[in-house]
Amino acid sequence: MKMKYLTLIVLLSLLCSAAQSQMKQGYDQARQTAIQDFSKTKLYKEDSVFFVTLYDTLHKIEYDKTDAHHWKPFLAKTYSELIVFEILGYPEKYFLDTTKDLIHQKGIPHGFFEKNGKIFLWWDKHHTLTDSTIKTLDKYHLIVRGRGDDYFKVIGGTDDSKRGTDYYFCRSNLSVYKKKIAQVATEYRDPPNIRCKQ
């Protein structure tokens, strides 16, 4: 009896692992689709470094006015049928703490894709930071080295005037998508009308 349960647990574990691997492959392909399309837009010509952010489930945020000077955010709507990749020109520096090894570095993206002398960066929980990634980021002058609190001396802020492009993919069929260019952050606006089969 115990052997049957053990076999069932192993089988479920393998199925779960296969499903996660398939989902990651789908997301990777959708990201590449977004990058390839973005490289044909005017915004691609404005920068050489771009950050790609994944919204695994899109949530719309709105604000309630609590008094004359204060607003409180709330979750207005969830679009569970959509995943979104936002691509934004982002030539910001990343801090490498020389007192720590790569495993303990924080704030440096793990994933990247190079195209025609330009680079797209993203967070990838399935990979760890490597020397190869650091060398690539160095090539684009994106790494600043220092110790501990030097972070606050060398890292600047972001440019809120930048326009980005959002790619809205149907979770049920990642070959179906629409894009939208905007300056407003992804979570603060409605997605385009896209028909996704449930």
Residue pair 57/72 in contact by the 8 Å Cβ criterion = no
Residue 197 inside a domain? The answer is no
> Which pLDDT value is given to residue 114?
95
pLDDT at 22 over 60: no
Residue pair 162/89 in contact by the 8 Å Cβ criterion = yes
137-160: pLDDT as tens digits:
999 999 999 887 776 666 655 566
pLDDT confidence of 172, banded at 50, 70, 90?
Answer: very high
* Domain span including residue 29: 20-188
Residue 33 inside a domain? The answer is yes
d(CA 86, CA 128): 22
Between β-strands 111-115 and 118-122, what pairing exists: parallel, antiparallel or unpaired? antiparallel
Residue 165 inside a domain? The answer is yes
Instruction: Supply the mean pLDDT for the chain.
Output: 83
Domain count along the chain: 1
d(CA 126, CA 115): 22
Provide mean pLDDT across the span 177-187.
87
d(CA 111, CA 126): 9
> Which pLDDT value is given to residue 12?
42
